Amino acid sequence: MKRRQSFVATLVASVSAVALFGSVTGGSLWFPPAQAQEKKLVMGTSPDYPPYEFYDTSGGQEKIVGFDVDIANYIGEKLGYEIEISGMDFNGLIPALQAKRVDFVMAGMTPTEERKQNVDFSDIYFEAKNTIVAKKGSNFKTAADLSGKKVGVQLGTIQEGDAKDIAEKDTTVQVVSLNKVGEIVQEIKAGRIDAAIIEDTVAAGFTTSNPDLEFNVIPSEGPSGSAVAFPKGSDALVAEFNKVLAEMKESGELEKLVLKWFGEGVSQ
């Protein structure tokens, strides 16, 4: 009996010691939350860019969805990472990588030489072309057609660079840089700007939902297409992503997602 009592006493003492210690440490030392052991990567994106990435509000809450999100989740699943998505303006994405606030960026981002000085890129996973979007009937087909016009572009994009190059040669062209592509589209509709330079698949979507607008593909030199961006020095992660991207191209998984988001007629 004596023995049993002391056993109970010891048990009570140790349980309360654990409870005390647990409360001091917030329980984390004894029972680490399962989540803390899972690998997680934060993806930065600029969700103003359907069908690459945009807010889906249909479920009553705002969720970032799109082509890039599906690719990221597929890669995450293959490599054993949970993917968390962080939305911000396009112009803030490279600074976010440099400050390591995000682990990678997928935002229809083109791997330019200038960006390569600050971030690492994966292989290109989707090609793109530039277009001029304007009110129906404008018929802007080349840079020369933009003479004397106000041209909208997204801040920090290659389209902004292209528009600035055009404006440098023809000083009657006025470049208007805005944070979100949707804002640019609204400015054209309101007649505050005459045109915008937007990439083909995005322009196709916006002109379908805004039948008062049209787009024409323009010849463009320089880099195009999308790649995943990482903080500088991410060689191991870049290699892991490239491996899955290559598998996705090989297996037809990527083509499946192209069809899902860009529809028939768009093939790489």
Residues that bind ligand ARG (CB under 6 A): 46, 48-49, 52-53, 90, 107-110, 154, 157-158, 181, 199
Residue type, 111: P
Note the residue count of the chain: 268
Closer CB to ligand ARG, 138 or 157, in the complex:
157
Closer CB to ligand ARG, 38 or 62, in the complex:
62
Closer CB to ligand ARG, 106 or 254, in the complex:
106
Instruction: Supply the minimum distance, in Å, between the C-beta of residue 122 and ligand ARG.
Output: 14
Please choose, from the candidates 72, 39, 119, the residue with its C-alpha nearest in 3D space to the C-alpha of residue 244.
Answer: 72
Instruction: Supply the minimum distance, in Å, between the C-beta of residue 80 and ligand ARG.
Output: 26
C-alpha distances out from residue 78 to 73, 165, 241, 243, Å: 9, 41, 10, 10
Closer CB to ligand ARG, 110 or 234, in the complex:
110
Instruction: Supply the minimum distance, in Å, between the C-beta of residue 247 and ligand ARG.
Output: 24
Taking the C-alpha atoms of 90, 92, 93 and 98 in order, what is their torsion angle to the nearest 10 degrees?
Answer: 160
Instruction: Supply the minimum distance, in Å, between the C-beta of residue 161 and ligand ARG.
Output: 8
The answer to whether residues 188 and 196 touch, using CB atoms and an 8 Å cutoff, is yes
Three-state DSSP state, 226: strand
Closer CB to ligand ARG, 52 or 262, in the complex:
52
Instruction: Supply the minimum distance, in Å, between the C-beta of residue 254 and ligand ARG.
Output: 18
Dig out the tokens for 119 from the structure: 């971030």
Instruction: Supply the minimum distance, in Å, between the C-beta of residue 108 and ligand ARG.
Output: 4
Please, what is the end-to-end C-alpha distance for the chain in angstroms?
81
Taking the C-alpha atoms of 58, 62, 71 and 103 in order, what is their torsion angle to the nearest 10 degrees?
Answer: 180
Closer CB to ligand ARG, 42 or 247, in the complex:
42
Q: Are strands 213-217 and 82-87 parallel, antiparallel or unpaired?
A: unpaired
Dig out the tokens for 259 from the structure: 């069809």
